[in-house]
């Protein structure tokens, strides 16, 4: 499924570069007013103006597909705060303090995503409050700082760690971890979703990992970027004793895509902030989060914590069921609600299978037909289960009225293949 997704990424990039002709530029302008200072038409269609394809996301929170849609509360916060200036140091401090209170931890900050949180958290641990070291990163004088990771936890995002100049030391099992720690060890990183991505059990579990770190006074950092729902995960890892935790803001929390959360120990968060914008030079300066998105991230988290998660889950299940029942009218087509084991990306989706002798098409062909159709619908991907090819159809990022659009288009494409 992962490789399929990657090849889909390439294709999307290729197709969006082939822009269709611009729509008529002579758009009626409405009166200038306080709410509409530029006098733009109320429903200015920027997608059309630029010839960018609107996509229905019947997949997951994929970065190449712009992540997720911001909650109305997020958008309201962005709009409500866009008309005044703020001191960015004060804003980061106050937003951070509030988020820390909400997440029952010492301190927090808003970063430009979880990947930036990995850079900033690591940089902060390396530099502490030392201004010279901040200036030197990623070329610190002396030995390279070492970060310990389980071999089975190595992943694409650990380049964020080496961006700071640190080196990753791979270990397996708690004994190897103990032995690997030396004077250059600055931190240990736990990739929470490793078991979801690779299906391989952690060689050091969370508790052992934290215990080894505590014994050697090494900060522990956990990447849980895609690990809500359940909402409880936002509290779980700091309670276990991890010193730093990161979550993406633009996945299921539905904040700005270019925002994320870094939280945990106060001294480490303060050091991370020193390595970030609005300071002019440090490694994190190119990872700026604007004022509106800081407010937006706060509003998104607040809304996420207050949401009725049971009701939301039920709604997702009924979406999957309504698509399933619509396509089940085609001979041999079956839909099954699938919830991954977790901890990463734990949301329901529909796994669709059929007898390819009766419905003469493959999941990949259906994926492509939906993507290339009007409207463009991008599914979660194709995969296999029990030797059977399947198409994964996501439901959690659909706008309510898009559920029936996806069901109808899917049915149409499958029906055309019945021969």
Ligand X SMILES: *Cc1c(COP(=O)(O)O)cnc(C)c1O
Q: How far is the CB of 5 from ligand X (least distance, A)?
A: 12
Cα–chain center distance at 29? 37
Question: Is residue 153 within 8 Å of residue 194, measured between CB atoms?
Answer: yes
Q: Which of residues 59-78 bind ligand X (CB under 6 A)?
A: 63
Could you tell me the two tokens for 204? Answer: 């050091």
Under the binding rule (CB under 6 A), the answer on residue 193 touching ligand X is: yes
Under the binding rule (CB under 6 A), the answer on residue 238 touching ligand X is: no
State the number of binding residues for ligand X (CB under 6 A).
Answer: 12
Distance between CA 221 and CA 263 in Å, rounded?
A: 10
- Kindly write down the DSSP assignment for every residue of 97-136, as one continuous string: HHHHHHTTSSEEEEESSHHHHHHHHHHHHHHTT-HHHHHH
Residue of minimal Cβ distance to ligand X = 113
Pick the stretch among 126-134, 180-188, 219-227, 375-383 that binds ligand X (CB under 6 A): 219-227
Question: Is residue 297 within 8 Å of residue 259, measured between CB atoms?
Answer: yes
Binding ligand X by CB under 6 A: which of 73, 158, 223, 293?
223
What are the E-state strand segments in 252-380? Answer: 260-264, 334-338, 349-353, 376-379
Element (H, E) at 109: strand 107-111
* Residues whose CB is less than 8 angstroms from the CB of residue 98 and which lie 6 or more positions away in sequence, other chains included: 298
Pick the stretch among 80-88, 218-226, 228-236, 371-379 that binds ligand X (CB under 6 A): 218-226
Residue with tokens 């700082």: 145
Binding ligand X by CB under 6 A: which of 77, 114, 234, 300?
114
Could you tell me the two tokens for 270? Answer: 């303060």
Q: How far is the CB of 121 from ligand X (least distance, A)?
A: 12
Q: How far is the CB of 249 from ligand X (least distance, A)?
A: 6
Distance between CA 49 and CA 238 in Å, rounded?
A: 46
Under the binding rule (CB under 6 A), the answer on residue 248 touching ligand X is: yes
Closest CB to ligand X among 26 and 156?
156
Q: Which of 418, 391, 419 is nearest to 1 (CA)?
A: 391
Binding ligand X by CB under 6 A: which of 115, 294, 333, 382?
115
Q: Which of 228, 225, 223 is nearest to 247 (CA)?
A: 225
Q: Which of residues 148-187 bind ligand X (CB under 6 A)?
A: 157
Pick the stretch among 78-86, 108-116, 134-142, 229-237 that binds ligand X (CB under 6 A): 108-116
Binding ligand X by CB under 6 A: which of 113, 256, 282, 381?
113
Binding mask 259-298 for ligand X (x = CB under 6 A): -x--------------------------------------
Q: HSE (CB half, 13 Å, CA atoms) of 68?
A: 26
Distance between CA 6 and CA 270 in Å, rounded?
A: 36
Pick the stretch among 6-14, 28-36, 100-108, 113-121 that binds ligand X (CB under 6 A): 113-121
| Contacting residues toward ligand X, per CB under 6 A | 63, 113-115, 157, 193, 223, 225-226, 248, 250, 260
């Amino acid at each position: 499924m992962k490789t399929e997704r990657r090849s889909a990424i390439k294709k999307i990039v290729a197709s969006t570069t082939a822009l269709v002709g611009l729509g008529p530029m002579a758009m009626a302008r409405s009166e200038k007013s306080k709410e509409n200072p530029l006098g733009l038409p109320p429903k200015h269609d920027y997608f059309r103006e630029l010839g960018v394809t609107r996509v229905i996301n019947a997949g997951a929170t994929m970065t190449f597909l712009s992540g997720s849609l911001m909650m109305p509360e997020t958008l309201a916060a962005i709009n409500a705060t866009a008309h005044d200036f703020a001191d960015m140091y004060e804003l980061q401090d106050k937003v951070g303090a509030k988020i820390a209170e909400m997440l029952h931890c010492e301190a927090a900050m808003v970063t430009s995503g979880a990947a930036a949180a990995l850079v900033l958290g690591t940089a902060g641990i390396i530099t502490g409050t030392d201004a010279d070291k901040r200036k030197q990163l990623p070329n610190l004088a002396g030995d390279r700082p070492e970060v310990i990771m389980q071999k089975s936890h190595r992943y694409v995002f650990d380049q964020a760690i080496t961006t700071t100049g640190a080196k990753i030391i791979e270990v397996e099992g708690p004994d190897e971890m103990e032995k690997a720690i030396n004077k250059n060890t600055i931190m240990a990183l736990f990739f929470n979703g490793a078991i979801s991505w690779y299906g391989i059990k952690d060689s050091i579990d969370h508790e052992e990992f934290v215990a080894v770190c505590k014994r050697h006074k090494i900060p522990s950092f956990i990447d849980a970027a895609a690990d809500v729902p359940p909402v409880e995960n936002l509290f779980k890892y700091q309670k276990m004793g991890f010193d730093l935790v990161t979550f993406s803001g633009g996945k299921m929390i539905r904040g700005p895509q270019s925002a994320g959360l870094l939280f945990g120990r106060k001294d480490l968060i303060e050091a991370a902030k020193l390595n970030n914008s609005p300071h002019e030079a440090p490694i994190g300066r190119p990872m700026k989060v604007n004022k509106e998105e800081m407010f937006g991230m706060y509003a998104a988290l607040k809304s996420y914590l207050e949401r009725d998660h049971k009701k939301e889950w039920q709604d997702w299940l009924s979406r999957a069921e309504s698509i399933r029942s619509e396509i089940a009218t085609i001979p041999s087509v079956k839909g099954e609600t699938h919830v991954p084991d977790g901890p990463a990306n734990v949301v329901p989706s529909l796994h669709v299978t059929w007898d390819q002798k009766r419905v003469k098409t493959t999941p990949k062909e259906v994926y492509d037909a939906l993507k290339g159709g009007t409207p463009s619908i991008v599914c979660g991907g194709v995969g296999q289960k029990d030797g059977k090819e399947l198409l994964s159809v996501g439901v959690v990022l659909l706008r309510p009225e898009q559920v029936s659009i996806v069901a109808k288009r899917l049915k149409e494409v499958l029906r055309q293949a019945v021969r």
